[in-house]
A and B are shown apart, each in its own frame.
Chain A
Amino acid sequence: MEAKAIIDAVLDFDQEKTAQLVRALLDQGVDALKILDQALIAAMDEVGRQFSTGDFFVPEMLMAAEAMHAGLEVLGPHLARSDIKAKGTIVIGTVKGDNHDIGKNLVAMMLECAGYRVIDLGVNVSKGKFLAAAKKYQAHIVALSALLTTTLAEMEAVVADVRAKGGSRLKTLVGGAPVTASFAAGIGADGYSPDAAGAVSVVRSLISA
């Protein structure tokens, strides 16, 4: 399988070429899951790596994700037919009192690109909605974003709610400009990431734990 060509197309932010190469592999009879894992998700892993080394920044990450999505759209119907399950389900939202969505959407986008099902509750989400959605969709992780320091208390309240009522399988991931590793540990969150690319690694380790 020509995985490298697809990876290169994603890293070149070339949506058309990515879709074309995925289509070509499907026509050759290559398994859709194999294309997803070894080409598209592998490309986004490389994006995450380059982000962590400072070679990629948000524009490059976002454009690569859009190229990856172009390939995913071609792959979608084939994956549905194969009844392939997502690697896990994440309920995500910006906590109550906070209407900022950029950071949250970047995290959601990177998680989707890594093969997770993302239930995006949007912004200004009240405490009860996180837990209700987590139960409804049998989520593995509740991911919380906050930009305002004034909404950190709300983040803490949601984490406490999930810990108290969500069961041991349901984990929490927190992030956002005022959130630090020590704050995350202090409120009992299971995971913290300073950026969208890092969130993928944290989710992987939380789900596999």
Chain B
Amino acid sequence: MHMTSRERFLKTMRYQKTDRVPYFEEGIRKDVIKAWRTQGLTKTAELSEMFSTDRREEIEVDLEPRPKLKKWPASRNELNVLRKSLDPDDSRRLPGKWSQRVRTWRSRDHMLMLRVHRGFFLSMGVYGWDRFSEVIRLLIKDTKLMREALAIQGEFAARMAERVLAEVEVDAAVFSEPIGGNDGPLLSPKMYEEFVLTSYQPVLDVLNRYGIETIILRTFANARILIPSILKWGFNCLWGCEVNIEAMDYRDLRREFGPKLRLIGGIDLDALRRDKEAIRREVEDKVPPLLAGGGYVPLADGRVRADVPFENYVYYRKLLEKVTRAGMG
């Protein structure tokens, strides 16, 4: 039974039998490859040929205001500027060579996901302290303004998703939430539901209308206490990146939330930085029980950077293949 990467991902997320689990690459950048070339990765060697790898592609539509805002809204008058800068019909918002890409995607055999939202903080223009504290003040002092601003972003994101989904059948949708704390989210579950998830509703409606089965929250913070909320709103997959791995142990999440929460990631990147024994413990302890439960894509919990020795990475990938193939029986 040989499957394409796409079939493998879809069946994994449906808890169906697969030939093996999907193996995604951890977003390895050129500087890492350059460092590894001095550590034993030969000039002509390609990682995707050295290890079993499932191709994953992400459609990144431009969700930023156009033109860039000189000032993000802090009053009702300024909301119109935000609204006007978020035109979903602007053709520049789609990736280049769009028509050609759409044709290619129709006959693809790899997994394709659509990033539908950049998360609460980035969509409110938070890149540093000044805007962060302004947004926090608005959340408490001018809830109406904050709801309206989020609704503008939510509607815009929904229209953008619709533009893509009318032409392309994607395998998953991703909401990203890159700003948060290591020990917990910055907002309470109540506030997250009241403001953020409410504003996602138009996007979720579009995803449901187009039958997108896997709806992922990709978080860069410890979002554990938000999980009941996201499940309630229709998310069904968590992808935790660069989080406090002890607080977000996927084995605990699986015990607590069962099969309604699919999981991507969960392997501590720190183990790859350390040594083979740490990698062995991490992979052998965590992966088999998650694999047995299904609905799981094993992956390091973040981007592999140059501080991971090439030798460790090779050991990790080989061990992951060995452990997962054994786990599949």
Residues of A within 8 A of B (CB): 13, 54, 57-60, 62-63, 66, 101-103, 105, 149-150, 153, 176-180, 183, 194-195
Do the beta carbons of A59 and B139 come within 8 Å of each other? yes
Least distance between A79 CB and chain B CB atoms (Å) = 24
Alpha-carbon gap, A174 to B231, bound state (A): 34
Alpha-carbon gap, A142 to B289, bound state (A): 43
Do the beta carbons of A195 and B140 come within 8 Å of each other? no
Residues of A within 8 A of B221 (CB): 177
With A58-B136, A102-B128, A102-B129 already in contact, the answer to whether A149 and B186 are too (CB < 8 A) is no
Nearest chain B residue, comparing its CB with the CB of A180: B244
With A58-B187, A177-B221, A194-B182 already in contact, the answer to whether A150 and B128 are too (CB < 8 A) is no
B225 within 8 A of A: yes
Alpha-carbon gap, A101 to B129, bound state (A): 6
Least distance between A11 CB and chain B CB atoms (Å) = 13
28 interchain pairs (CB within 8 A)? A54-B188, A54-B225, A57-B185, A57-B188, A58-B186, A59-B136, A59-B186, A62-B133, A63-B136, A63-B141, A66-B137, A102-B126, A102-B132, A102-B179, A103-B181, A105-B129, A150-B306, A153-B307, A176-B182, A177-B181, A177-B221, A177-B242, A178-B182, A179-B182, A180-B244, A194-B181, A195-B183, A195-B184
Do the beta carbons of B136 and A101 come within 8 Å of each other? no
B269 within 8 A of A: yes
Nearest chain A residue, comparing its CB with the CB of B243: A177
Least distance between B175 CB and chain A CB atoms (Å) = 19
Extra A-B contacts (14), CB below 8 Å, given A105-B129, A177-B182: A54-B184, A54-B225, A57-B185, A58-B181, A59-B191, A62-B133, A63-B136, A102-B126, A102-B128, A102-B179, A149-B242, A149-B302, A183-B270, A194-B244
Do the beta carbons of A63 and B137 come within 8 Å of each other? yes
Alpha-carbon gap, A57 to B242, bound state (A): 21
Do the beta carbons of B242 and A178 come within 8 Å of each other? yes
Alpha-carbon gap, A102 to B183, bound state (A): 15
Interface string of B284-319 (1 = CB under 8 A from A): 000000000000000000100111000000000000
Residues of A within 8 A of B179 (CB): 102
Residues of B within 8 A of A54 (CB): 184, 188, 225
Least distance between A111 CB and chain B CB atoms (Å) = 15
Nearest chain A residue, comparing its CB with the CB of B269: A149
Least distance between A88 CB and chain B CB atoms (Å) = 23
Nearest chain A residue, comparing its CB with the CB of B186: A58
Give the dominant DSSP class at A's interface: helix
Interface size on B, residues (CB 8 A): 32
Alpha-carbon gap, A197 to B133, bound state (A): 17
Alpha-carbon gap, A176 to B14, bound state (A): 36
For A59, A153, A176, the residue with the greatest tally of chain B CB atoms inside 10 Å of its CB is A59
Q: Which of A60, A101, A176, A177 contacts B128 (CB 8 A)?
A: A101
For B128, B129, B244, B302, the residue with the greatest tally of chain A CB atoms inside 10 Å of its CB is B129
Least distance between B158 CB and chain A CB atoms (Å) = 26
With A149-B302, A149-B305, A178-B242 already in contact, the answer to whether A59 and B128 are too (CB < 8 A) is no
B123-165 contacts to A, CB under 8 A, are 126, 128-129, 132-133, 136-137, 139-141
Alpha-carbon gap, A66 to B136, bound state (A): 11
Residues of A within 8 A of B220 (CB): 177
Alpha-carbon gap, A66 to B134, bound state (A): 12
Alpha-carbon gap, A183 to B223, bound state (A): 21
Least distance between B241 CB and chain A CB atoms (Å) = 11
Residues of A within 8 A of B182 (CB): 176-180, 194-195
Least distance between A65 CB and chain B CB atoms (Å) = 10
Least distance between A145 CB and chain B CB atoms (Å) = 11
With A102-B132, A149-B307 already in contact, the answer to whether A57 and B186 are too (CB < 8 A) is yes
Nearest chain A residue, comparing its CB with the CB of B306: A150
Residues of A within 8 A of B183 (CB): 194-195
Alpha-carbon gap, A62 to B134, bound state (A): 10
Least distance between B179 CB and chain A CB atoms (Å) = 7
For B126, B188, B246, the residue with the greatest tally of chain A CB atoms inside 10 Å of its CB is B188
Residues of A within 8 A of B306 (CB): 150
Least distance between B145 CB and chain A CB atoms (Å) = 15
Q: Which 9 A-B pairs have the closest CB atoms?
A: A194-B183, A58-B186, A57-B188, A177-B182, A101-B129, A105-B129, A59-B136, A195-B183, A62-B136
